[in-house]
Structure 1
Amino acid sequence: MGLEIKLPGAFTSIQDKGRRGYLSQGFMESGACDKYSMTAANLFAGNLSEPELAVLEFTLKGGEITFTSDEVIALAGADMNPLKNGVPIPMYRPVVMREGDSLSLGMASKGLRSYLAVYGGVAVLPVLGSRSTDLKSCLGGLEGRVLKAGDLLKSGKCGEEKMRFAAGVYKMDFTSLSEENEPWFINPSNPFRYSADKRYVLLRAVPGPQTETFTEEGRNTFVRNPYQLTADCDRMACRLGGPSVEMRKGADIISDAVLEGSVQITASGLPIVMLADHQTTGGYAKIATVISTDIPALAQLRPGEWVTFQYVTAMEAVKIARKENKKLLELKKIIETAMGKW
């Protein structure tokens, strides 16, 4: 079978790269909030040619899973101190789980969201080209909902191929990825801004599309000050607290498209950054759009943590995205070398 959910954790759902191309019909993109960690987990789980297969996304606290068949898994993202049958196992490495084995995940000691990939992906029926869970429309994933105790999930591959891969895991050599402190591949490549003894996650953003709605002072306020994540943050968006962004004639506009990374400014002058479950349209003016490579860092922050913003051009955003893709390709190549022919 695959996996049986014994304890679902705080908020666990099935996600992949998202449901693209249906915003005009009113369907959210959904997908993993931290797509970098999702991709890394899939690569280490052996899904080298399909790093966007469906995974389990755990938020803040994991749960407990019993394996009803032999599987190969990998974990990435927030460290929830994973245990196999009560014994610690590494993240960012393939791990063989035998039938009857138990995987338990606790509170995240760092970060917010953790991702569990399975060799062959989590096998649920795709809806509109994606297996991601859309909670508001109740579609995708498993019955369009978060996971609960007793749920049974299948992996996408079985038989001889999976058995050969599982046997090969014990022969894989990942010493080239072992470094002191924090290895280069664990986190996305977003920068930080430093002020005195404080370090803030720096979110790079392309200005607009409603730049003219804001005064010059307001546009400068947005990038010169830190903003704090409020308690009102979820898969849809992160609401921020901090200095008010000055507008010319108010925040309301004729509703237009909203994307992941869109930064709306509310009537109070405070930013909201859209995440994976963002709405399809919105009526607040957007001062900027956070680039895709920096969204994973935001998705791992908790309420009370801080961010700052920096304007970049569209061309700079493309160069940054290409550099990040090159980093993932390098990681994929190293993993392929370590796995060999398993």
Structure 2
Amino acid sequence: MIEILSVTGPASIQDLGRFDQYRFGVGTSGAMDDVALRAGNILLGNDENAAAVEIPIMPFRLRFDRNIAFALTGAAVEAEIAGRAIPPWWRSYARAGDILNIKAMSHGARSYLAVGGGIDVPMVLGSRSTQFRGEFGGLHGRPLQVGDILPCATSTAAIGEFGIEPAGITLARPNAAADESIVRVIVAGEYDAFEATAQELFWSSSWTITPQSNRYGYRLQGPAVKPKAPVEKRSHGIVPGVIQIPPNGQPIIQMRDAQTSGGYPKIATVIGADLWRVGQARLGGKLRFEQTAYTDALAAEDDMSAYLDRLRTNMRLVEEAGTCR
């Protein structure tokens, strides 16, 4: 088990999400950075959907009550256990009684703590993910608190006391400025409801992520992007990644805890392969949108799959090498 000793922000238990309940009006939830979650579980020999702790704000401290392997992925963090430094994107080993102290986050917005076997909270509607709005899943459907005890499943993987760093994967796109993240998007249903000048404003602007942003949606600030005429639509299905334009002209990117329907006009949608980039963009940071064709979006998914395949292969080779010693 894991005991939470200190927590600063809304840390929560998340897996890859619940995707078979959308037709009932239940959103996906799940890790804001699904790549980091998968990578952490691959490092530990877990099922890639095993639940982990999503940590958006530091510091964060916990105590392990038994010997267990763990990995920190996602944001670059400064962390130590039993007085020794733990690099991010490595798998490490804790002994019973060890305290893990995650002190600071130098890059990115969310760190993921995966443990051998995964966090063993009950499945609710096919997922262990916390759904804040509905107050279910995770641990009592709420953010983690000091004193919480998290049960951990037993892992059958043979994990040594060493770490391995996966291939680099960064927030930056090749043409991004140092202080912004570029995310690729495809145009959405109401794109043509906007004049060419408004469309160009959407593409050329650098958008600030406001403090009102959270797991439900990222609210952006910049020049107002207005349609040719007011668009009044009945609420209809939306998914994480959809970018809506409310009457004030300031875009909203729907994120993992987004509702399943909405009526604001949709100007674009973040491609699946880049949604994790948005999840790792900080409050006050900058986003810029890059128009992408559907075929390029599929190619980006292939690139992401290839990255994860390389990580799986590397871990398999490490395990095989360990059994030969």
- For Structure 1 versus Structure 2, the TM-score category normalised by the shorter chain is over 0.9
Contact 1:261–1:289 under 8 Å retained in 2 = yes
Contact 1:192–1:201 under 8 Å retained in 2 = no
Contact 1:204–1:309 under 8 Å retained in 2 = yes
Offset at residue 208 of structure 1 (A): 0.9
Q: 1:258 aligns with which of 238, 244, 253?
A: 238
Q: Secondary structure, in 3 states, of the residue corresponding to 2:20?
A: coil
Contact 1:265–1:284 under 8 Å retained in 2 = yes
Partner residue in 2 for 1:107: 104
The reply on whether 1:187 has 2:167 as its aligned counterpart is no
Q: 1:335 aligns with which of 315, 321, 325?
A: 315
Percent of paired sites with the same residue: 30
Partner residue in 1 for 2:283: 303
Partner residue in 2 for 1:37: 36
Amino acid at match of 1:155: C
Q: Secondary structure, in 3 states, of the residue corresponding to 1:82?
A: strand
The reply on whether 1:249 has 2:258 as its aligned counterpart is no
What do residues 248-298 of structure 1 show as CA deviations (whole Å, max 9, x unaligned)?
212432111111100001101111111111111111000011011111111
Contact 1:11–1:61 under 8 Å retained in 2 = no
The 4+ residue runs of structure 1 with deviation greater than 6 A are none
The reply on whether 1:67 has 2:50 as its aligned counterpart is no
Q: Secondary structure, in 3 states, of the residue corresponding to 2:36?
A: helix
**Structure 1: which 5+ runs fail to align?**
178-182
The reply on whether 1:204 has 2:184 as its aligned counterpart is yes
Offset at residue 186 of structure 1 (A): 4.1
Q: Secondary structure, in 3 states, of the residue corresponding to 1:94?
A: strand
The reply on whether 1:54 has 2:51 as its aligned counterpart is yes
Partner residue in 2 for 1:326: 306
Amino acid at match of 2:34: K
CA–CA distance in structure 1, aligned partners of residues 112 and 261 of structure 2: 28
Offset at residue 338 of structure 1 (A): 1.4
Offset at residue 173 of structure 1 (A): 7.8
CA RMSD of the aligned region, Å? Answer: 1.8
Offset at residue 236 of structure 1 (A): 0.8
CA–CA distance in structure 2, aligned partners of residues 17 and 62 of structure 1: 24
CA–CA distance in structure 2, aligned partners of residues 75 and 36 of structure 1: 13
Residues 117-266 of structure 1 mapped to structure 2, 5 A cutoff: 117-157=114-154, 161=156, 165-166=158-159, 169-170=160-161, 174=164, 177=165, 184-187=167-170, 191-194=173-176, 200-266=180-246
Q: Secondary structure, in 3 states, of the residue corresponding to 2:117?
A: coil
Contact 1:206–1:312 under 8 Å retained in 2 = yes
Contact 1:64–1:105 under 8 Å retained in 2 = yes
Offset at residue 299 of structure 1 (A): 1.1
CA–CA distance in structure 1, aligned partners of residues 215 and 265 of structure 2: 21
Partner residue in 2 for 1:23: 22
Residues 280-291 of structure 1 mapped to structure 2, 5 A cutoff: 280-291=260-271
Amino acid at match of 1:237: G
Amino acid at match of 2:208: Q
Amino acid at match of 2:288: T
Aligned residues: 322
What do residues 223-248 of structure 1 show as CA deviations (whole Å, max 9, x unaligned)?
12211111111111111111221302
Contact 1:32–1:57 under 8 Å retained in 2 = yes
